Amino acid sequence: MSIILIKNQGEFRKKLACCFDSVSITGEEKKEEIKEKCINFISFLPIVFSDDLERKTLWDRISNGIYSATTKCDNDFEKFINYVLEYIKADAAKVASNKEFSDFLTYTVKQSDEWKIAFINYCQTKYFIVVTYARQKWEEKKAEKGKDNGK
Amino acid sequence: MENKIRTYKIYCILETLSPLTHMMGVSGNESLINREPIIYKNRKVFVPVISGNSIRHRMIRSAGSEYLVKQMEIDGKLGLDQLDFMFYGGRLCETKTTTNISKIAEMEELFPLYRLLGGSLKNQIIAGSLDVWRGLLICEENRKTINEYLPEEYKITNKLLPADLFIGNYQYTRGDARNIRNISSIADNVSSLDDREKSNLMLYSGQQVNRNSLFFHGFSTKHISNIEIGCLFHSLQLWSENCSTVGGMAAKGHGRVIINCIMHDIDIDISECILLYIEHVKKNKEKMVKWLDANFPKKKNKGDILDG
Q: Using the beta-carbon criterion (under 8 Å), do B160 and A2 form an inter-chain contact?
A: no
- Cβ of A2 and B271 within 8 Å? no
Mean pLDDT value of segment B113-119: 94
Q: What is the number of structural domains in chain B?
A: 1
CB contact under 8 A, A15 and B260: yes
Percent of chain B's residues with pLDDT above 70? 93
Residue B31 lies in a domain: yes
Degrees to nearest 5, angle at CA A44 with A40 and A47: 165
Evaluate whether residue A1 is within a structural domain.
Answer: no
**Which positions ≥6 away from B222 have C-beta within 8 Å?**
B7, B129, B130, B131
Structural domain count, chain A: 1
CA distance B265 to B234: 19
In a domain, B259, yes or no: yes
Whether B242 is covered by a domain: the verdict is: yes
* A23 and A114 Cβ atoms separated by less than 8 Å: yes
Residue B38 has pLDDT above 50, yes or no: yes
- pLDDT given for residue B301 in this prediction: 61
Q: Is A2 on the interface with B (CB under 8 A)?
A: yes
Q: What pLDDT is recorded for position B305?
A: 47
Residues 104-123 of A with CB under 8 A from B: 121
Q: What is the pTM of this model?
A: 0.80
For residue A44, the distance in angstroms to the closest alpha carbon of chain B comes to 28
Q: A22 to chain B nearest CA, in Å?
A: 8
Mean of pLDDT over chain B: 88
Q: Look at residue B175 in the predicted model and tell me its pLDDT.
A: 84
Provide, as residue numbers in chain B, all residues whose Cβ is less than 8 Å from the Cβ of A121. Answer: 165
Chain B residue closest in CA terms to A7: B263
Residue numbers in B near A118 (CB within 8 A): none
- For residue A15, the distance in angstroms to the closest alpha carbon of chain B comes to 9
Say yes or no: A16 contacts chain B, CB-CB below 8 A.
yes
Q: What is the pLDDT of residue B197?
A: 63
Is residue A36 one of the residues assigned to a domain? yes
Note whether ipTM > 0.85 here: no
Tens of pLDDT, residue by residue over B14-24, are 999 999 999 98
pLDDT at A75: 86
Judge residue A64's burial from the number of C-beta atoms within 10 Å of its C-beta, 0-12 exposed, 13-18 middle, 19 or more buried: middle
Which three-class secondary structure string do you get for chain B? CCCCCEEEEEEEEEEECCCECCEEEEECCEEEECEEEEEECCEEEEEEEECHHHHHHHHHHHHHHHHHHHHHCCCCCCCHHHHHHHHHCCCCCCCCCCCCHHHHHHHHHHCHHHHHHCEECCCCEECCCEEECCEEECCHHHHHHHHHHCCHHHCCCCCECCHHHHEEEEEEEECCHHHCCCHHHCCCCCCCCCCCCCCCCEEEEEEEECCCCEEEEEEEEEEECHHHHHHHHHHHHHHHHCCCECCCCHHHCCCEEEEEEECCCCCCCHHHHHHHHHHHHHHHHHHHHHHHHHHCCCCCCHHHHHHC
Tell me if B125 is assigned to some domain: no
Instruction: Please report residues of A whose CB lies closer than 8 A to that of B140.
Output: 21
- Whether A122 is in a domain gets the answer yes
Q: Which domain holds residue A141?
A: 26-150
Find the mean pLDDT for residues B72-92.
Answer: 91
Any domain includes B27:
yes
In chain B the first and final C-alpha atoms are separated, in Å, by 52
Q: pLDDT at position A47, please?
A: 92
* Residue B266, amino acid: I
B260–A4 C-beta distance less than 8 A: yes
Alpha-carbon gap, residue B212 to B17, rounded angstroms: 6
Among the ranges given (A74-88, B59-73, B173-187, B219-233), the one the predictor scored with the smallest mean pLDDT? B173-187
Half-sphere exposure of A14 (CA within 13 A, CB side): 9
Report yes or no on A10 lying in a domain. Answer: no
How large a percentage of chain B has pLDDT more than 90? 57
The stretches in chain A having pLDDT less than 50 are: none
For residue A16, which residues of chain B lie inside 8 Å, CB to CB?
A: 13, 138, 156, 158, 160, 214
Residue A135 maps to a domain: yes
Question: Does A149 lie at the interface with B, CB-CB under 8 angstroms?
Answer: no
DSSP reduced 3-state for A51: coil
Chain A residue closest in CA terms to B212? A18
Check residue B306 and give its pLDDT.
45
Test mutation, B136, B137, B161, B272, chain A, max A CBs within 10 A = B161
Q: Pairing state of beta strands B125-126 and B119-120?
A: antiparallel
Q: Is the pLDDT of residue B119 over 70?
A: yes
**Domain housing B50:** 6-77+130-165+207-270
Asked whether residue B280 is domain-assigned, the answer is no
* A6 contacts B240? CB cut-off 8 A: no
